Structure 1
Amino acid sequence: MEKIPTIFERDGRFHVVDRPRADCGWVFDGVGAATEKLDGTNVRLTVRCGTLVRVEKRRNPSREQKQRGIVDGWYVDAGAEDKWITAAADGTDVSAWPDGEHSCEAIGPRVQGNPLGLAAHVCVPFNLSVPVYADVPRDFAGLRAFLATVDSAYAPGRPPEGIVFHHPDGRRAKIKRKDFGP
């Protein structure tokens, strides 16, 4: 699983600056759909004939692995210690999902502090049901203002974590509210 790049360059405090990343130029050209970035835990659900057959969680490389050149994350089976991931998987109706592996965001009361204020755990598949925003600005000032005022499409009345832009060829790029700093 490839890490999704942030659309702007960063400064020494790790905040974004008004300088687009070259590899994300397509975002600023107006290409791709803007979806809500949900604040949860990345998981992968495998579905066969409308039945959940495998639950995996994402693992990111350690500092030592990064120094050896391993930069992309991977999935491992969720275990007994992953009860909130399991609760989210169990709380997700996959009966109409197509067969295959589906990367999702596990969200709910015991995941990442529950910033969306949800009452139940669930997995939201990136390829099937992540909320899309229309008319999202594609410039630094516009995105900062948009993210400061927009409601979550998934949980109205709550702020979204950010935006993920999806290119038709499968590339993705992101911006989070916190990237702009205080």
Structure 2
Amino acid sequence: MEKIPTLFERDERFHVIDRPRAECAWVFEGAGVGTEKLDGTNVRLTVRSGQLVRVEKRRNPSKAQKRQGIVDGWYADAREESAEDKWILAAAAATDVSTWPDGEHSCEALGPRIQGNPLALSSHVCVPFDLRAPVIPDVPRGYAELRDFLATLESRFAPGHLAEGIVFHHADGRRAKIKRTDFGGAQDR
């Protein structure tokens, strides 16, 4: 699983600065579609004939693994006997996959017991990035414009709550992201 690059370089406080990352140049050239970045836990659901057959959770490399050059995360099976996987499995079980095409679908698991539930959802669910990520039309592409846009961007998935950020999707599969909190300052609230 390849980590999605952030649109801009970061400073020593890990906030973005007005210096676009070279690998994200396509976004600034106007390519790609903006979708809402949902604030939950990254999971992957495998579907066969409209049935959920596997639930996996994202694992990121440890600091020691990063020092060894392992930078990209991977998926590991979620386990019923694991207390930390309980709510991921609840979200997967509550998700209707009956119309999903066969395959592996990266999703965001959301709900009352996941990541502090910033969208104030009343139930758990998994939202597949390839099928249901809310599209945000006319997303600005400049540093200041994105900062101001994200400061007040309402979630399309949970109206009345702020969106976490934007993920740009290129037709060739490339992606790039920006979060409201990447800008620091008043955005960290």
Q: Which residue of 2 aligns with 1:168?
A: 171
- In structure 2, what is the equivalent of residue 112 of structure 1? 115
TM-score normalized by structure 1?
0.99
Letter in 1 for 2:102: D
Secondary structure, aligned partner of 1:115: coil
Secondary structure, in 3 states, of the residue corresponding to 2:66? Answer: helix
Distance in 1 (alpha carbons) for counterparts of 2:157 and 2:89: 21
- In structure 1, distance between residues paired with 2:119 and 2:60: 24
Q: Residue by residue, what CA displacement relative to the aligned partner does 1:138-168 show, whole Å, maximum 9, x if unpaired? A: 0001101100111000001100110000011
Aligned with 2:4: secondary structure?
coil
Distance 1:47 1:33 in 2: 26
User: 2:74 corresponds to which letter in structure 1?
Assistant: W
The CA deviation at 1:180 is 0.3
Cα distance in 2, alignment partners of residues 103 and 51 from structure 1: 16
Which amino acid in 1 is paired with 2:163? Answer: P
Corresponding residue to 1:98 among 87, 94, 101: 101
Task: Give the share of equivalent positions with the same residue, in percent.
Answer: 74
Measured in 1, the distance between the counterparts of 2:57 and 2:10 equals 28
1:157 paired residue among 147, 156, 160: 160
TM-score w.r.t. length of structure 2? 0.95
Q: Which residue matches 1:72?
A: 72
Distance 2:10 2:74 in 1: 25
How do 1:116-135 residues align onto structure 2 when only pairs under 5 Å count? 116-135=119-138
